[in-house]
């Protein structure tokens, strides 16, 4: 992993391969390695002829961690990714987001639409607009002294995942609190990029992928049968659908 500093934020990232750039933005409580390297995404895209950039979002992985929720507003986190594109002299890229990464991809696209080629909303459906809700039990679970003290089922899942990845739990709790800022349907209507929405059919976090695709000007849905929020990211059909979607583009 390499590092780039923007003000008081240091972002850890990988930059591998050659060809048209693909920016990967991971989900909450994850990091580039867990979300993209271990499930095979980075190798897949490099082998397909792409340059792959994957960052650790602030508060995650090896990037700077704050314990102040104000430092995790989605526009600030999206700006980290945009600053990284600037740092690497990348004018335009395909972007794949997963869960929170899909939200950040949306904020980035609204701020700088000309920098985005094609968009993949992984693990995020209509709850991009509706809101996924119930963030406080997750924050409380992350702040609890022990997993044994957590009774909320969703909170237990995220706490166990944070423990598994060795995350800074206080930074994650701070990160999740500003996440109530929603994207509106009016904002989505301003995005006319070709977009693929990939959500597992038993994902209880994302909401309907079909519904989000219908809200997008040029959206299409690709459901993953039997996959939940945690297991969809490594699905081979997800990967195949993305490669086919990118191959349609005339940008590369």
* pLDDT by residue, tens only, the chain of 252 residues: 999 999 999 999 999 999 999 999 999 889 999 999 999 999 999 999 999 999 999 999 999 999 999 999 999 999 999 999 999 999 999 999 999 999 999 999 999 999 999 999 999 999 999 887 667 888 889 989 888 888 888 888 888 888 888 889 999 989 988 666 778 999 999 999 999 999 999 998 899 999 999 999 999 999 999 999 889 999 999 999 999 999 998 766
**Is the separation of the CB atoms in 34 and 163 below 8 Å?**
no
Q: What is the pLDDT of residue 71?
A: 95
Q: What is the pLDDT of residue 133?
A: 64
CATH 3.40.50.300 is held by the domain 2-129+182-247: no
- Round to whole Å and give the CA distance between 24 and 198: 15
3-state SS string for the chain: CEEEEECCEEEEEEEECCCEEEEEECCCCCCHHHHHHCCCHHHHHHHCCEEEEEECCCCCCCCCCCCCHHHHCHHHHHHHHHHHHHHCCCCCEEEEEECHHHHHHHHHHHHCHHHEEEEEEECCCCHHHHCCCCHHHHHHHHHCCCHHHCCCHHHHHHHHHHHHCCCCHHHHHHHHHHHHCCCCHHHHHCCCCEEEEEEECCCCCCCCHHHHHHHCCEEEEEEECCCCCCCHHHCHHHHHHHHHHHHCCCCC
Comparing C-alpha atoms, which of 28, 86, 85 is closest to residue 57? Answer: 28
First-to-final CA distance of the chain:
26
Q: Where are the domains of the chain?
A: 2-129+182-247
- Round to whole Å and give the CA distance between 99 and 154: 15
User: Beta 218-224 vs 116-122: how paired, if at all?
Assistant: unpaired
**Is the separation of the CB atoms in 30 and 93 below 8 Å?**
no
Q: What is the pLDDT of residue 179?
A: 60
Cross-strand pairs, 54 = 14, 24
Q: What is the pLDDT of residue 77?
A: 96
CA angle centred on 121, ends 213 and 58, rounded to 5°: 145
Q: What is the pLDDT of residue 154?
A: 81
**Is the separation of the CB atoms in 100 and 94 below 8 Å?**
no
């Amino acid at each position: 992993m390499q590092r780039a500093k923007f003000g008081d934020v240091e972002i850890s990232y990988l930059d591998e391969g050659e060809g048209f750039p693909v920016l990967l933005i991971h989900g909450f409580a994850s990091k580039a390695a867990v979300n993209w390297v271990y499930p095979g995404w980075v190798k897949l895209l490099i082998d397909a002829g792409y340059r792959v950039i994957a960052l650790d979002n602030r508060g995650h992985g090896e990037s700077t961690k704050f314990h102040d929720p104000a430092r995790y507003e989605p526009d600030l986190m999206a700006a980290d990714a945009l600053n990284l594109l600037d740092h690497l002299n990348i004018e335009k890229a395909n972007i794949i987001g997963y869960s929170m990464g899909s939200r950040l991809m949306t904020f980035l696209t609204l701020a700088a639409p000309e920098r985005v080629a094609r968009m993949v909303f992984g693990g995020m459906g209509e709850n991009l607009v509706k809101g996924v809700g119930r963030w406080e039990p997750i924050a409380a679970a992350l702040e609890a002294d022990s997993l044994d003290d957590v009774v909320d089922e969703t909170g237990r899942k995220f706490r166990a995942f944070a423990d598994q990845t060795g995350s800074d739990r206080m930074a994650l709790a701070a990160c999740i609190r500003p996440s109530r800022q929603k994207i509106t349907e009016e904002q989505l209507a301003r995005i006319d990029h070709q977009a693929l929405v990939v959500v597992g059919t038993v994902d209880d976090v994302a909401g309907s992928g079909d519904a989000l695709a219908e809200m997008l000007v040029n959206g299409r849905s690709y459901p993953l049968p039997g996959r939940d929020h945690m297991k969809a990211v490594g699905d081979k059909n997800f990967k195949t659908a993305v490669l086919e979607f990118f191959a349609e583009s005339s940008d590369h």
